Structure 1
Amino acid sequence: MLDSRAVLVGTCTYTQGLPQLDQAAANLTDLFDALVEVVDPSGMHAVTDPTTAQLVLDPLDRCASSPADLLLFYYAGHGLRDQDDRLCLALPGSVDTPRDARRTSLPVDSVLEIMKRAPARHRVVILDCCYSGLAMDSPAAADLHLLTATNRTAKAAYRVDDRNTEFTGELVRLLVDGPGPVDLGGVYRHLDRALLARGLPRPRQRCVDHSAEIVLRP
């Protein structure tokens, strides 16, 4: 097992008009279980319905404060766009207007800045939210491996009666049931084929050097 750490965040309860997203909580539970062969459970932090950005940034900052083989950040929830068309990760009290999005949510730039400074050998960000491809426009994302559920303009998909969102559900199925070992390059190729075949938004990936070879399932 690598010296790895992960911060998994899911927002499922909303108070300002955004649709409820129960699947985000199930995503955290299932992804946590799927990653235990790579990340020691003591190094994984699952944060559900954080009411402030600091409740996410504080554990991420602690995980990023010392060297590691892998530092992974994952978010499931609604993605919002601010006045400058930058991605914001919704929190329970987020307001979905360009004027209020950044003030009431977690700007993805804040996450990426911490990830960028981390002395981890590999730094991976996985975003399961609408407009998640916008994260690739952030200057702080330049040296990070990014895997996103959609491009810059598409909404992420989920079905009200399903346990997981479409993107994370397919990711978990691959990590649990797929033939191992599974690296990030294989994850992306599988997700791209599987989601596109169902008429769902295509995921996006951006690699850094050999980051596609990072193993998520031995």
Structure 2
Amino acid sequence: MRRALIVGINYYEHGRPLYGCVDDAHAVKAILERHGDGSVNFDCVVYTGTGPTDRVDRGDLKDRVEELFIHDAEVALFYFAGHGHIEASGGYLLACDSRRGDEGISLAEVLTFANASPAKNKVIILDSCHSGIAGTKPGDDNVATVAEGVTVLTASTAQQYATEENGHGVFTTLFVDALHGGAANLTGDVTPGSVYAHIDQSLGAWEQRPVFRTNVKQFVSLRKVQSPISIADLRRLKDFFSSPGDEFPLDPTFEPEMKGRDEGMPDPVPENTRTFAMLQKYNRLNLLVPVGASHMWNAAMESRGCRLTPLGQHYHRLVSKNRI
């Protein structure tokens, strides 16, 4: 079971309205409920606050978060987009009926529910101001209170505001892009760690900074997308490189094109050109680079070679250990 509670609140009875949170919630639901191939991923429940007759009040929000985390599941994911508040007692997520900051659901409560949950993986995604305080002890940002199996990813630090742009939260736009495949690895998995890396690299030093806290032994895949290379082809790394530090020798027989050959150069050999096509695929995925040449074509025509990049060596080790 993979369960997701998705909340987006634009309407605040006693405060300033927001404009992109409800759309963001629906965008997150749309990307989470199916894998890239259309198969079922998360069983999503969406609650939105759009106006006086469509609202998420504090009691309802607290009950729904508790309900999410009380059940055993492979993954229990909570996403919130709306107003956040911080004061000496900690951080809060504000509901439609919140009259003041501390009348929201406290982040300490959310973490308490998650920390006590029997679910194997608990993931909390917060696109709200000051959300970076989540997972820390009130009054001490340096003390984490994240239990094993819990991951927290927030739009901004405890001191920052979460911004909207073009009708959507900047953080959620990047989050959805990451789930679409921008943060996928070569096997097509999108993990919380890769999502954070994608968002972190997309925001500059002067912009809101995402916060990532986790206490897991292994990242869970949040979504599976089409991988840029088949698993069978990825496993062939071992066929060409017996060890990660090896260099694969090339010569003109590997290049299928006749154009550009000097007189006396040997003709292409079909078996070698098939191998070269695979090596070029690895090159396009940054798994290997030519040695002493600017392009793979030059490496072949000049009888040089190619070697694995650090990324290629990483996947070579995974293949060698039967981890792929």
TM-score past 0.5 threshold: yes
> What does residue 196 of structure 2 align with?
188
Of the two structures, which has the highest relative contact order with CA contacts closer than 8 Å and spacing of 6 or more?
1
Q: Secondary structure at the match of 2:168?
A: coil
Determine the C-alpha separation between the residues in 2 that align with 1:175 and 1:22. 23
- Which residue is 2:217 aligned to? 210
TM-score (norm 1): 0.85
CA shift, 1:21, in A, is 1.3
Moved more, 115-124 or 55-64: 55-64
After superposition, the C-alpha distances for 1:95-152 in whole angstroms (9 at most, x for unaligned) are 4xxxx3213x222222222222210000111111111111121489421211011111
- Mapping of 1:66-85 within 5 angstroms? 66-82=71-87, 84-85=88-89
Q: Is the 2:57–2:98 Cα contact (8 Å) retained in structure 1?
A: no
* SS, match of residue 191 in structure 1: helix
Aligned length: 205
Aligned-residue Cα RMSD (Å) equals: 2.3
Structure 1 residues 104-115: aligned runs within 5 Å? 105-115=104-114
Structure 2, unmatched stretches of 5+, are 50-54, 139-143, 225-324
Q: TM-score, normalised by structure 2?
A: 0.58
Shift of residue 93 of structure 1? 2.9
Whether the 8 Å CA contact 1:63–1:71 is kept in 2: the answer is yes
- Structure 1 residue aligned with 2:178, among 162, 174, 177? 174
Partner of 1:65: 70
C-alpha change, 1:183 and 1:41, in structure 2 (3 Å) is closer
1:17 aligned to 7, 15, 18, which one? Answer: 15
| Preserved CA contact (<8 Å) 2:13 2:96 | yes
Are positions 1:145 and 2:113 aligned together?
A: no
CA drift of 1:6 comes to 1.1
Say if 1:154 and 1:201, in contact at 8 Å, map to a contact too: yes
Q: Percent identity?
A: 28
3-state SS of paired residue (2:70): coil
Q: Which residue of 2 aligns with 1:200?
A: 207
Query: What pairs up with 1:44-59 in 2 under 5 angstroms?
Result: 44-49=44-49, 50-59=55-64
Q: Which residue of 1 aligns with 2:128?
A: 129
